[in-house]
Structure 1
């Protein structure tokens, strides 16, 4: 299970994707409440961005609880994973959360979001050039809506970006196609990160052998 501490490998790969992450805590806070999760399994790779409500240690604890739940139930459908996180976080501060599974050959993405973690899929060679995650309002651990996952076809070079609300939503207008994932993540944080919140951006590019 990948976390936010320590240096990140700029050439990180998990299953059919290569990925990068950039994050920072709100100034004055000892740790960030935003956390990423990337882990491969036999069916593909699970990718998530988690934003614990508020800031500081309690927000970080809620995010770590969500990440541990995702790890413990790796391989289950995204709707089931969201329900498991909701059950596990009942006594926590709660989180908002977006999750995606890219299947092992890199040909399909299934994603789901609760709350305001933005998700955008950028197409390398297809129309429309980008698609947005249809997330719905709610707080995982407190109240979640009826869950409806969405599935999209993928091709090599397609790139997924998850960003917490510490990243200005204007980031989505600038395509990361042509960037290495870590370079794209660093650029988005540097250019669109807010000074008023924890911030995290996770970028994953499909590199599976897709005909």
Structure 2
């Protein structure tokens, strides 16, 4: 997408083909969309999932020019923004309102936060213990951090997904 990137973490409810179908519907909608409004995109996903098992979804729009992230969740896909220098900025946790896309959609409250060079963004499904960020070392490549999260915090009884991104743009690109 021009000007930024949309990131989605999707977890179809349950297991098997029905869960995969629900997740596939969301992935198709997000990948074909030019919309960077996370609230309208989430509403579209919710509507298209009616009649399916549904899904837990977190969407994050990363604005390259503003060095910001606008994110929203529906269901239990954890989102964390971890500063490159712990203590420099506070860790941010995405508000999880509950609900299931396709079944019950509470009032969504997208949040926009600044992102600084070196900050790490993590999205993780409910198969990953939510304490993963408490003592996470932000060293190494993003895929190495994701592997450490899964190795240490995957429940082993549910699907486990950890998406890790490291922000590499300087704040000097921020819009005035």
When normalised by structure 1's length, the TM-score is 0.77
**Which residue pairs with 1:121 in the alignment?**
81
Which of residues 93, 96, 99 is equivalent to 1:132? 93
**Which residue pairs with 2:10 in the alignment?**
50
Distance 1:176 1:105, change over 3 A: farther
**Which residue pairs with 1:109 in the alignment?**
69
Q: What are the ranges of 5 or more consecutive residues in structure 1 without an aligned counterpart?
A: 1-40
1:5-31 deviation per Cα after TM superposition (whole angstroms, max 9, x unaligned): xxxxxxxxxxxxxxxxxxxxxxxxxxx
Matched positions, count: 170
**Which residue pairs with 2:127 in the alignment?**
166
| Mapped partners of 1:176, 1:49: distance in 2 | 22
The SS at the match of 1:66 is helix
Q: CA deviation at 1:181?
A: 0.3
| Mapped partners of 1:170, 1:117: distance in 2 | 13
When normalised by structure 2's length, the TM-score is 0.92
Of structures 1 and 2, the one scoring higher in RCO (CA 8 A, sep 6+) is 1
Distance 1:155 1:142, change over 3 A: same
The SS at the match of 2:161 is strand
Q: CA deviation at 1:195?
A: 1.5
Q: Is the 8 A contact 1:96 1:140 kept in 2?
A: yes
Q: CA deviation at 1:104?
A: 1.7
| Mapped partners of 1:117, 1:176: distance in 2 | 21
Q: CA deviation at 1:177?
A: 2.2
